[in-house]
Amino acid sequence: MVNVSLEEEWLGKFFKFLTNTTFNSTYKLVFMKSFLKLGNREDRENSQDWIKIGNDVTRVELDFIAVPYIKYYWDMFDKYDLRQSSTGNQYGDTDINIHKFFKDDQDDRIPPPSLEKLASDEYEEKRKNIIQKSIKPEVLDHLEVDPHGIPYGFYKRVKAHAQTCPAPPDNTCRCRYESYIEVDSYALEFCNKYKIILDKAINFELVKYLEKINKAPRIAAKVEGKVPRSYLKSEQREFLIDFYHKCFYCEKPLSEGEDVIHIDHLIPFAYVYETELHNCVPACERCNLFKSKRLPLELFFNKKIEDNEKMNIRNFCEGYQTELYQEDYDLCLKHFHRESPRWPSEFGQMNKKKYNINHVQKFLKQRNQSQQ
């Protein structure tokens, strides 16, 4: 039998969190998204070492929260490059500090692993570092009480002295060591019952916040993980290949059945998050591989605009407007591509007056041939 008063109490906690909390970043929202995983029996069973269920109190290792928490931020950083804070952080960076854990020693981005890998021993050290340097200071220190000083009551922090800490285990110790939280055992039943609606409510707040600080399309779909169609319909693909007959970038002749023909999103798919004919071009394997999700030189974009007019693109893409397409390119350059040189980078930082599209296409063709 459902304990109505307990259910109402937990609904009240989430209502207060969603309506009374001030968000200067997405940390609290993502933590609570991860907290809802407690309602998923499969997640709990796969993490038995991290969850100890009692009659009244359940002990939850912070590793359990950390896995989906890290996955969200790693995906958002690597795939979509969405800012997660409007204020930067204490280190002087312009965004949240968790991003530094997703780069190697050369400051290059590391591709995000799967949830299963993040939960493995291979990533134990990274989980511990992020718990200590992100979850504790950015969430646990700020999600105990609401802006009026009244406890939220989602969890109880359990602190213990770290064995490696040189200070005595008293009030002078500042190691702030803790590896788990305690929650009411009823929270598991509650999260299971309301996880869908609460996840949507948290996503709604996430999207509202992200839209304030990002100039990017389809943020809601990116947050919800709804991956749109990333390929053209067969008749559109055939039309595009028949129109060009060659790689859009290096002009290598292409023929179905003889060549590997890729369809590239000129403005990267990771930014536009849709597949429309007006933004697609055929590419050889090498050009598509090297361009990846980078924005090409503006002269390629200008050529695509001209080609769209030649192929009467409005017959295929209802609502297409050159001005809006130009706006997408400009916003992508400013907010997604940012300081990175446009592709190919050998020309990306060069004075535009010193080259034309023929120079770039010839360069790409020669480079591709030399690397075969």
Q: Quick one: three-class SS letters along 184-244?
A: ECHHHHHHHHHHHHHHHHHHHHHHHHHHHHCCCCCHHHHHHCCCCCCCCCHHHHHHHHHHH
Give the DSSP letter of residue 120. S
Of 113, 13, 78, the closest CA to residue 5 belongs to 13
User: pLDDT by residue (tens digit) across 84-114?
Assistant: 988 754 444 556 889 899 988 887 889 999 9
241 vs 338, which has greater pLDDT? 241
Q: What is the mean pLDDT of the chain?
A: 87
- pTM (global) more than 0.85: no
User: pLDDT by residue (tens digit) across 281-314?
Assistant: 999 999 999 999 899 999 999 999 999 999 999 9
pLDDT beyond 70 at 346? yes
The one-letter amino acid code at 355 reads: Y
Give the DSSP letter of residue 312. T
- Chain-centroid distance of CA 175 in Å reads 31
What is the distance between the alpha carbons of residues 143 and 181, in angstroms, rounded to a whole number? 13
User: pLDDT by residue (tens digit) across 261-270?
Assistant: 999 999 999 9
Q: What is the model's pLDDT at position 20?
A: 87
Residue 201, classified by CB atoms within 10 Å of its CB into exposed (0-12), middle (13-18) or buried (19+), is middle
